[in-house]
Amino acid sequence: MIGLCLGLSTLPARAEPGIAITPRPAQVRPTGEDFHLPPTLVLSVPEGDVPARATAAYLRDILRDQLHRPVRIGTGGVIRLERASEPLPEEGYRLTVTPQGITLRAWGDAGLFYAAVSLSQMLEPGADDAKGGEVTVPGVEITDAPRFGWRGVMLDSARHYQSPAWIRRFIDEMARHKLNVLHWHLTDDQAWRLEIHRYPRFAQVGGWRVEAGEPHPSGGIYTQAQVRALVAHAAARHVTIVPEIEMPGHATAALAAYPALGTGPAPAVPASGWGIYPNLFSPRPETLKVLEDVLDEVMDLFPSRFIHVGGDEAVKDAWKASPEVQAQIRSLGLKDETALQAWMVRQLAAHLEAHGRRLIGWDEILNDDLPASAAVMAWHGAGAGRTAARAGHDAVLSPVLPYYLDYRQGDTPQDGPGRGVFPLKLVYGFDPGTAELAPDAAAHVLGLQANIWTELLRSEGRVEYAAFPRLAAVAEGAWTPADRRDWADFLNRLPGLLEGYARRGVRASDSALRLRLNVDPEVPGRAVLALSTQERLGTLRYTLDGTPPGPGARAYGLPIEAALPVHVRAANFLGDRVLPGALDVVIPSPADPEGLPLSPTLCTSGLALSLESGTGDVVRVDARNPCWQTRPAALDGITGLRLRLVSLPYNVEARVDAAALALDPTLGPGGGLEVHLDGCDGAVVARLALDDPSRVAQQAVRVALPPVTGRHGLCLQLRRSRPGPFWALDTLSLTALAPMKNPPAP
């Protein structure tokens, strides 16, 4: 049975039963006159219509996978792709399901493709799909077109490399979300990935770096042949790849390859830390000529109308210190270094325009002299984009908050590395604020874009996990008319979306629905257990005896007091359907060998990051102040702590002032651990020396505590003696085993 009719039938009543299309279409009119799919599906296309045939082939392949029945392209099909005679927007379409069949109608090629995408979602198999069984498609008339023409995702392939095969699959997923711009961040301080024939050292030198904490160079490049294949793959799915070559800043890798292109001391190698580097391309005419040569090859590879030239975070120290650059500023009659960057942007914009292209750059490029044809990508909040639009520039809104997807989706250990937390609902809720613009300014807002920076996302799997399902929320923001956006409706579609990702092998996050358990130690041997989820959907049910919870299990209401150890299993149910994100965990007693785990929080949040350790664990740490504290817990009978520390080799310190690290050079290479009772200003109850984190990846530590009674919070302050790899707390537990003795303090 089709999921929409059966698998999702236990969802709360919805306005459009059986229609679960994401992004939500502009108009949906259920007719109640359903269509029963025949055992063999034939798709028909207008004679000689090559793009329609390509879309039919795309749809055929998806339906074969989903429906487990023969699907072919022929004449007289029950699924008909037609060209609309009535005027529809280029990307708009009409999808009609009647008892006689299904019609996809569009004027433009993209519109027809999006009709096919919508139909493929209506024919998603449900959890109970019986292979080749009876399939009913709900009768409906859908009229749809996007709110914005630019529905983008930026992929940072510079900080970490993703393979062309993976990017192809990513583009496939974009197309399924009706996202249509892949902004490809190809160069940065840490890498230059794009093969340039005239200047081969850019990629040869810039494509590889030694990652902090790793012995060998890693990375990769994209050959021009690979790029052409990706551009074609994307075009077939109505996705435009907009390449970005960063200039004048974020140029460390480029300058390691060609030092003569820079101003000031040349970097020896691509950067392997994260942050903002002072290495800038020089504004010399000779350098500009090289950059224009690069852009010529870029234009030859990428048919995109827009070419992105970066422009962000170009700290001007090197230009300020250079007599040559200062002389150039004077001879051009410019005010300062910022005006000089603007002058460079004008040269580049003119070069692109001469080739029929348009420049786009980060919002630092916006100034009074920016050529009218140049577009602005606003990352300093949507307001920066509206400012650009009011000034008459086309603008794409990609605000850090909430569209930077290197922020995590949730705050559990499974949420992977990243910055703070931008949950799905926050991303869904983004309002571009175009209603406050006059119509002519609003028309300059090309659309919306999410950015996936990959400093902390070291693998393709991590990128996928950060991207999905939040890209579905972004897609709905960019596609669906403002008055049709509806969080509750989206949330109801989420379980089906997650099933789709799982079926296609996309490693999406279930953070929005994942069960979280908070354990509050009580009198010895007991604890209060609190269950929660980011979003409430369905009924939370649990057992405490290790048996799997079923639809009849006890519903969770208030926190539960339980004797330890206890085996907690819990899941959310919609009727008898189990939602993703179930929990299955044994909470030991402090008297068990592993101890009772606590969930400490950071003492400070100055540079709070979730980082991947050398062991592959993800730990949350303030990189300026590795310090953790626990909520007050009953410590009666507790004899000590067990800690697991993991070493963080990856260099986040370009953004960290050494003075802020409070280094204590009198300590040994591993630094030390101090345990305070009742807050970080409280008495020190234990002090230990640690192993050298640049030599070992993890360390188990046992700390004896003096006997105390009642509830107390603990503060665990790690002290460092030098920069470089440092320890972070992975797990912490209370033990009530026989009293221990601490080794001598450092």
Q: How far is the CB of 311 from ligand ACM (least distance, A)?
A: 9
**Among 669, 657, 659, which Cα is nearest to 726's?**
669
Residue 435 — φ and ψ, nearest 5°? Answer: -65, -25
Is 34 a binder of ligand ACM (CB under 6 A)?
A: no
Nearer to ligand ACM, 384 or 716 (CB): 384
Is 362 a binder of ligand ACM (CB under 6 A)?
A: yes
For residue 288, give the amino acid letter.
L
For residue 207, give the amino acid letter.
G
Q: How far is the CB of 610 from ligand ACM (least distance, A)?
A: 18
Number of residues this chain uses to bind ligand ACM (CB under 6 A)? 4
- Residue of minimal Cβ distance to ligand ACM: 312
Nearer to ligand ACM, 359 or 570 (CB): 359
Nearer to ligand ACM, 412 or 451 (CB): 451
Nearer to ligand ACM, 172 or 313 (CB): 313
Q: How far is the CB of 215 from ligand ACM (least distance, A)?
A: 30
Paired tokens of 185: 């961040």
CA–CA dist 65, 129 (Å, integer): 13
How big is the chain, counted in residues?
746
CA distances from 574 to 328, 506, 563, 717 (A): 68, 23, 29, 44
Q: How far is the CB of 262 from ligand ACM (least distance, A)?
A: 20
Is 489 a binder of ligand ACM (CB under 6 A)?
A: no
Nearer to ligand ACM, 275 or 481 (CB): 275
Q: How far is the CB of 345 from ligand ACM (least distance, A)?
A: 15
In 3-state terms, what secondary structure has residue 646?
strand
The neighbouring-strand residues paired with 622 are 608
DSSP β-ladder status, 445-452 and 181-185:
unpaired
Radius of gyration of the chain (CA): 29
Q: How far is the CB of 19 from ligand ACM (least distance, A)?
A: 37
Where are the extended beta strands (E) located within 109-206?
136-137, 140-144, 150-156, 181-185, 187-188, 191-192
**Among 546, 729, 524, which Cα is nearest to 646's?**
729
From the list 49, 141, 313, 489, which residue makes contact with ligand ACM (rule: CB under 6 A)? Answer: 313
CA–CA dist 75, 45 (Å, integer): 7
Write down the residue that tokens 């980060």 correspond to. Answer: 362
Under 8 Å between Cβ of 473 and 420: no
Q: How far is the CB of 195 from ligand ACM (least distance, A)?
A: 24
Under 8 Å between Cβ of 501 and 525: no
Nearer to ligand ACM, 365 or 734 (CB): 365
Nearer to ligand ACM, 292 or 313 (CB): 313
What DSSP assignment string belongs to 656-716?
Answer: S-GGGG---TTS-TT-EEEEEESSTTS-EEEEEE---TTT-SEEEEEEE-----SEE-EEE
Nearer to ligand ACM, 377 or 506 (CB): 377
Among positions 137-196, residues that touch ligand ACM (CB under 6 A) are none
In 3-state terms, what secondary structure has residue 512?
coil
Is 468 a binder of ligand ACM (CB under 6 A)?
A: no
Cα 48 versus chain centre, distance: 41
Nearer to ligand ACM, 189 or 653 (CB): 189
- x/- track of binding to ligand ACM for residues 89-108 (CB under 6 A): --------------------
Exposed / middle / buried, residue 568 (Cβ in 10 Å: 0-12, 13-18, 19+)? buried
Q: How far is the CB of 312 from ligand ACM (least distance, A)?
A: 4
Is 312 a binder of ligand ACM (CB under 6 A)?
A: yes
Q: How far is the CB of 362 from ligand ACM (least distance, A)?
A: 5
Give first-to-last CA distance, the chain, whole Å. Answer: 67
Nearer to ligand ACM, 296 or 313 (CB): 313
Is 379 a binder of ligand ACM (CB under 6 A)?
A: yes
Residues sharing a CB contact under 8 Å with residue 146, sequence separation 6 or more, in sequence order: 89, 91, 92, 178, 478, 479
Nearer to ligand ACM, 145 or 405 (CB): 405
Q: How far is the CB of 58 from ligand ACM (least distance, A)?
A: 33
Peptide bond into 723 cis (omega under 30): no
Nearer to ligand ACM, 376 or 646 (CB): 376
Catalytic residues: 188, 250, 313
Total Cβ atoms within 10 A of residue 566: 19
For residue 480, give the amino acid letter.
T
Total Cβ atoms within 10 A of residue 315: 14
Q: How far is the CB of 381 from ligand ACM (least distance, A)?
A: 12
% helix, strand, coil for the chain, step of 5: 25, 30, 45
Is 401 a binder of ligand ACM (CB under 6 A)?
A: no
Output b/e per residue, 23-50; b: 16+ Cβ within 10 A: bbbbebebeeebbebeeebbbbbeeebe
Q: How far is the CB of 192 from ligand ACM (least distance, A)?
A: 17
**Among 299, 261, 305, 302, which Cα is nearest to 280's?**
261
Output b/e per residue, 358-387; b: 16+ Cβ within 10 A: bbbbbbbbbeeebeeebbbbbbeebebbbb
Residues lying near ligand ACM in the complex (CB under 6 A): 312-313, 362, 379
